[in-house]
C-alpha cells in the first residue's frame, strides 16, 4: 500500500502546515548545525512532495515521478538527524503532531531501505542481547557490586511490590551507573521494599521507536510484563524518562507506573526522607521525555526546593520551552558531532544562570552534558536528581515507614 506508514490524520496534517517556520526557530538541530535542512518546515515540505509523488492521482495530475532511492536517502539524512525532542510540536500553531510524524517517517524510510547503517546495530543489539549496547544482559545489575555494604541478594528478590526498572543506559554505561547506585541507597534510607529485575529486564523498546523499528516491540514488552508479574509487583518506578514514557504509552495498563521524581517527591513530603542542608546554587534541565513528553515539570522542582540551603535558579528556556541536551532520538549514534553541538548550546544556557550544578532527571541528559562539560573543561557539575537527594540524605536517623 502506498504511504502505508502514515495515518489518514497524518496525511491531512502534512497538508495543514502554513509554512510559518516557527518550528525552525526552536529546533536544537538547526541551532547546533546552522543547517535549515534539519528544520521541521523543510522536513514536512519534503515529506509532502514525497507523499504526492507516491500517489497515482497526483503523479498523473502533476506529471511527477516517484522518489528515487537517492532522494529518499537525502530525506533520511534530515529525518534521522533529529533528537525527537518535541519542541517543534510544542510551538506549532496549527497543532500538527510533528513528533509522531517523524516516527512515522523513520518507519517509512526503514521500510524503503533508506536509513543510516547504525540503525542495523540497534536492531541487532536488541534482537541478540536485549539491550541497546549489545552487552551481556546477565550483567545488567553488575553495578550493584560497586555499592559498599550491598545486601547479599544484590537487590534482586523473589517477590516485592515495587520494581525499580533500571534501563539500558544506567545499567551498562559507567557514568550513568551512579544514578541507580544513588537511588537504591535512597530506597534503603526510606525503607522501601523493592527489587530489580536483573537479567530478566530487557530494553523497554524506546530505541526501536526512534530507529523506525516500532514493529519489533512485542517481544520486549511481553518479556518485561511477564518479569514484573513473576515478582508479584503492582508498581514499577523509573529513573529513565524514556522507559517511563514507553511504559505509559505502549505497555498494557496492568501496573502503576511512576517516574522517580514523583515517587521521591511524595517520600519527602511524607517525612520518610530527612534531608540535610546543602550550600549549592542549582539550575534544572527538563528532560524532553519527562517534560514535553510526559508533562512532569513540578515534581523535580519541588524536590530541589525542599533541600535546605539550595538556591534554585531557572534557565531562560525552562519547562515546556526547555532546550534539548542533544542526547535524544538516537542522534548520538547517528551524528555524534551534531549531538555535541547541541550540548554546547545547552551548556551555554546553563552557564548563564551562574549555577554551580545543573540537575536533571534523565541518565542520557547526564551523560550528554557531562561528556561535553568534561571535554571542554567547563566547571559545572552535572547531576541527576537522585544523586542530589543522595548527597542531601541526613543519614540513617529517619522516621519508621508506615
CATH of the domain at 284: 3.40.50.1860
Last residue of a domain, one of 211, 245, 267: 267
The domain that holds 65 is classified in CATH as 1.10.1060.10
| Residue 399 is assigned to a structural domain of this protein | no
258 shares a domain with 179: yes
250 shares a domain with 133: yes
Domain span at residue 160 reads 127-267
131 shares a domain with 102: no
325 shares a domain with 278: yes
191 shares a domain with 70: no
335 shares a domain with 222: no
* 341-375 burial: b if 16+ Cβ within 10 Å, else e: bbbebbbebbeebebebbbbbbbbbbbbbbbbbee
Total count of residues recorded for the chain: 402
- The Cα 53–Cα 139 span in angstroms is 49
pLDDT along the chain (402 residues), means of 10: 79 92 95 95 93 75 78 94 96 95 95 94 96 96 94 96 97 95 96 97 96 95 98 97 97 97 96 94 98 97 97 96 95 94 97 97 96 95 97 63 38
379 shares a domain with 322: yes
332 shares a domain with 259: no
What's residue 9's pLDDT? 92
| Residue 120 is assigned to a structural domain of this protein | no
Q: Kindly give, in sequence order, each residue whose CB lies less than 8 Å from that of residue 74, ignoring residues fewer than 6 positions away.
A: none
Sheet holding 194-195, edge to edge: 194-195, 162-165, 235-238, 256-259
Last residue of a domain, one of 240, 267, 294: 267
What's residue 52's pLDDT? 85
304 shares a domain with 326: yes
Taking a C-beta distance cutoff of 8 angstroms, is the pair 387, 367 a contact? no
- The Cα 387–Cα 188 span in angstroms is 14
| Residue 400 is assigned to a structural domain of this protein | no
294 shares a domain with 251: no
Beta pairing, strands 235-238 & 194-195: unpaired
Taking a C-beta distance cutoff of 8 angstroms, is the pair 261, 239 a contact? no
Number of domains in the chain: 3
* Grid cell 521541521 in the structure block, residue: 40
Last residue of a domain, one of 218, 252, 267: 267
Query: Diameter of the chain by CA atoms?
Result: 77
Amino acid at each position: 500500500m502506498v504511504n502505508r506508514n502514515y495515518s489518514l490524520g497524518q496525511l491531512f496534517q502534512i497538508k495543514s502546515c502554513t509554512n510559518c517556520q516557527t518550528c525552525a526557530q526552536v529546533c536544537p538541530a538547526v541551532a547546533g548545525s546552522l543547517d535549515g535542512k534539519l528544520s521541521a518546515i523543510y522536513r514536512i515540505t519534503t515529506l509532502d512532495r514525497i507523499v504526492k509523488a507516491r500517489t497515482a492521482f497526483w503523479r498523473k495530475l502533476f506529471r511527477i515521478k516517484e522518489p528515487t532511492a537517492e532522494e529518499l536517502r537525502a530525506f533520511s539524512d534530515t529525518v534521522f538527524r533529529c533528537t525527537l525532542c518535541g519542541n517543534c510540536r510544542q510551538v506549532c500553531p496549527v497543532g500538527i503532531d510533528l513528533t509522531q510524524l517523524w516516527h512515522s517517517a523513520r518507519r517509512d524510510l526503514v521500510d524503503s531501505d533508506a536509513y543510516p547503517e547504525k540503525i542495523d546495530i540497534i536492531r541487532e543489539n536488541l534482537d541478540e542481547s536485549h539491550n541497546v549496547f549489545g552487552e551481556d544482559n546477565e550483567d545488567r545489575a553488575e553495578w550493584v557490586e560497586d555499592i559498599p555494604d550491598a545486601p547479599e541478594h544484590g537487590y534482586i528478590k523473589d517477590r516485592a511490590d515495587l520494581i525499580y526498572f533500571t534501563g539500558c543506559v544506567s545499567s551498562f554505561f559507567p557514568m550513568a551507573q551512579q544514578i541507580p547506585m544513588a537511588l537504591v541507597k535512597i530506597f534503603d534510607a526510606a525503607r522501601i521494599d523493592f527489587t530489580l529485575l536483573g537479567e530478566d529486564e530487557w530494553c523497554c523498546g524506546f530505541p526501536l521507536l526512534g530507529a523506525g523499528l516500532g514493529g519489533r516491540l512485542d517481544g520486549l514488552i511481553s518479556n518485561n510484563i511477564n518479569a514484573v508479574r513473576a515478582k508479584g509487583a503492582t508498581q514499577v518506578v523509573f529513573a529513565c524518562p524514556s522507559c517511563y514514557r514507553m511504559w505509559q504509552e505502549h505497555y498494557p495498563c496492568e501496573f502503576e507506573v511512576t517516574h522517580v521524581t514523583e515517587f521521591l517527591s511524595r517520600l519527602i513530603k511524607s517525612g520518610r526522607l530527612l534531608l540535610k542542608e546543602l550550600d549549592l546554587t542549582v539550575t534544572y534541565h527538563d528532560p524532553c521525555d519527562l517534560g514535553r513528553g510526559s508533562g512532569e515539570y513540578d515534581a523535580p522542582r519541588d524536590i530541589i526546593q525542599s533541600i535546605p540551603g539550595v538556591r534554585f535558579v531557572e534557565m531562560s528556556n525552562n519547562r515546556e520551552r526547555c532546550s534539548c541536551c542533544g542526547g535524544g532520538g538516537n542522534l548520538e549514534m547517528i551524528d555524534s558531532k551534531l549531538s555535541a553541538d547541541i550540548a554546547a548550546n545547552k551548556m551555554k544556557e546553563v552557564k548563564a544562570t551562574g549555577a554551580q550544578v545543573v540537575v536533571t532527571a534523565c541518565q542520557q541528559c547526564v551523560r550528554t552534558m557531562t561528556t561535553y562539560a568534561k571535554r571542554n573543561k567547563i566547571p559545572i557539575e552535572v547531576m541527576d536528581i537522585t544523586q542530589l537527594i543522595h548527597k542531601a540524605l541526613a543519614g540513617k536517623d529517619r522516621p519508621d515507614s508506615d
